[in-house]
Amino acid sequence: MLFSGWRLQVSEVGGHAKDLQLRLTERLDREQRSDYDLTVVAVDGGRPARSAELAVHVVVVDTNDNAPYFDHAEYIVEVREDVASGTTRHCAWCYTCHNYIY
């Protein structure tokens, strides 16, 4: 059983070998799902049948289609003139749709 959006394509390579390609059938969206864990199972035609499994972990990389945003549109900060250089006076939080905070 494959996840929606994926299909397997199998083609003969020669002899008993086959080429297996995991192909997308629809666009991935990092905001909807960030990764997939798939298991590919190969079964021979013998009796008894033998099989092998391959774990495939797919990480969806963002195309940067959503801009980050700050928690406020405007910040007003007062700083005294005698504050030492390098002093932190205020922190602004920036978010993305991926829940990262910078």
For 86, left (φ over 0), alpha (ψ -120 to 50), or beta?
left
23-32, 38-47, 51-60, 93-102: least confidently modelled range = 93-102
Instruction: Locate 81 and state its tokens.
Output: 């003139």
Largest CA distance in the chain: 85
**Contact between 24 and 41 (Cβ < 8 Å):** no
pLDDT at 100 over 80: no
Express each pLDDT in 68-95 by its tens digit: 778 888 887 777 888 888 787 777 777 7
pLDDT at 3 over 70: no
Confidence tier at 50 by pLDDT (50, 70, 90): very high
pLDDT for residue 4? 74
What whole-number distance in Å separates Cα of residue 71 and Cα of residue 77? 15
Domain residue extents for the chain: 6-59
pLDDT for residue 99? 56
Q: Find out if CATH 3.40.50.1370 is the number for domain 6-59.
A: no
